[in-house]
Structure 1
């Protein structure tokens, strides 16, 4: 596959997104906002207090004339989550299928979509299925800044798989997991990458919403042609679920359909 020329499969952190903001031209003029005088604010405050006191007094008078209402029973055996309580009321721990943390805290590589039957091995990922942070950052346009951004976001580990089908089609999936913090690193990373898909390099591609995902989108890009080279087609998908950001890449010398990339992304989402 020597004739295929590829570009970086990911883009850099928040500094590039700031640079991409349109800064041309002065802001449109807006009419000045009027400010209340102190006397007007005081009158409104007094009226509000009087209204609150008057309403409270009327409410007490109405309530005093009503018959007492019986309170509901303190025990409510119908309330049970995530499943009805067994006899005796003991709450059993969630099973591995009910508790997502059991899956995501285990071997992350087991959550990767398995290779299709007949697919061949590629050199895009290591044999052990793990991607080190320096290797991951090196795929960005600015590795140093990408490394710092990922560390600030609380990146934890990256699992990856890839395979080749047909003569040239290559599919790669990465699961990028983040540590718990005051920011949701997985969502921020996925949305940051999706924001770059609308720049000039990708022909202002808005993508298509991914079925079953709250924020996921997939993208099919126009063919890239260069004299002396095979045609180059590319598709991607980005999404996040919980603490994991998912990246799906697909490359070929023949056209990639929307169904090709979306089906892979949806099946990977289903394993999370």
Structure 2
């Protein structure tokens, strides 16, 4: 991994081209929407303008809504006045910037009890930028995009439960103020989720996040192969973008991806 983590080792085995178990993605032109694949291969399976105008018309007919008072009790931090000249400081446990400057892998959810380490897991918990870019259908463009966005490092964890169920979580950290950053990356991923080859929906809002969403994909069927189910979540906190993937040959419950996303958000 270039940059902060020279100790990263080789990436897990990639799905071969044409592998029926590997979802297909594409890269859109710049500002390119990076189309990420569902990185965990299962080895044994395969009217806007008009609406806006109407909305403005409706709002124009309404009475203005008064804003809440700015002086609300209980919102000040710290709770007690500080001596003159002293600045308030968040405890390290509440300061994401402090936590994110350490070992990013410690912010990943731990492997659940009883889960096995995925055979596709990165050995040391770091993903090379080249490996990350290779997940897109145009790795060269994806690599250029990520460098422009100021990508810094990528921490990853994955595990297997049941016969074919695989889960992967990635924390993609960007340099503060560089490129387009975590927010733009996440919004780019969310932009193509309604497409036919993906979730075919806008997903569901992830409570507690700025604009996080989670998605359950329609089942993929192919003659001669087991059914393939997939769920994803995308959100960001500060300079860290989060991607979560679940794939299985059995239906994935909405609560599974929601719970995983909520607990990972809590770690940040």
Q: One fold, TM greater than 0.5?
A: yes
Q: In the alignment, is the contact (CA less than 8 A) between 1:4 and 1:230 conserved in 2?
A: no
Correspondence for 2:108 among 107, 112, 124: 112
TM-score (norm 1): 0.71
More relative contact order in 1 or in 2 (CA 8 Å, sep 6+)? 2
Correspondence for 1:7 among 13, 17, 23: 23
Is 1:95 aligned to residue 91 of structure 2?
yes
Q: Which structure has the larger Rg?
A: 1
Correspondence for 1:251 among 242, 247, 253: 247
Cα deviation for residue 269 of structure 1 reads 0.4
Instruction: Give the structure 1 partner of residue 165 of structure 2.
Output: 169
Correspondence for 1:138 among 134, 140, 149: 134
Cα deviation for residue 226 of structure 1 reads 0.8
Q: 1:209 to 1:248 in 2, by over 3 A?
A: same
Cα deviation for residue 184 of structure 1 reads 4.7
Q: In the alignment, is the contact (CA less than 8 A) between 1:14 and 1:192 conserved in 2?
A: no
Q: In the alignment, is the contact (CA less than 8 A) between 2:149 and 2:178 conserved in 1?
A: no
Cα deviation for residue 14 of structure 1 reads 4.7
TM-score (norm 2): 0.72
SS of the residue aligned with 1:160? Answer: strand
Q: State how far apart, in whole Å, the 2-side matches of 1:204 and 1:83 are.
A: 47
Cα deviation for residue 113 of structure 1 reads 0.5
Cα deviation for residue 201 of structure 1 reads 1.1
Q: In the alignment, is the contact (CA less than 8 A) between 2:77 and 2:88 conserved in 1?
A: no
Report the aligned-residue RMSD.
Answer: 2.8
Which one is further off, 110-119 or 96-105? 96-105
Cα deviation for residue 168 of structure 1 reads 1.0
What per-residue deviation string (whole Å, max 9, x for no partner) do you get for residues 13-47 of structure 1? 653858xxxxxxxx99xxxxxxxxxxxxxxxxxxx
Q: State how far apart, in whole Å, the 1-side matches of 2:120 and 2:224 are.
A: 24
Cα deviation for residue 217 of structure 1 reads 0.6
What per-residue deviation string (whole Å, max 9, x for no partner) do you get for residues 88-111 of structure 1? 874464321232211011100000
More helix by share: 1
Q: State how far apart, in whole Å, the 2-side matches of 1:15 and 1:197 are.
A: 18
The within-5 A match list for 1:189-228 is 189-202=185-198, 204-228=200-224
Instruction: Give the structure 1 partner of residue 67 of structure 2.
Output: none
Aligned residues: 213
Correspondence for 1:265 among 225, 248, 261: 261
Q: In the alignment, is the contact (CA less than 8 A) between 1:161 and 1:173 conserved in 2?
A: yes
5+ residue gaps, structure 1, are 19-26, 29-78
Is 1:180 aligned to residue 176 of structure 2?
yes
SS of the residue aligned with 2:218? Answer: coil
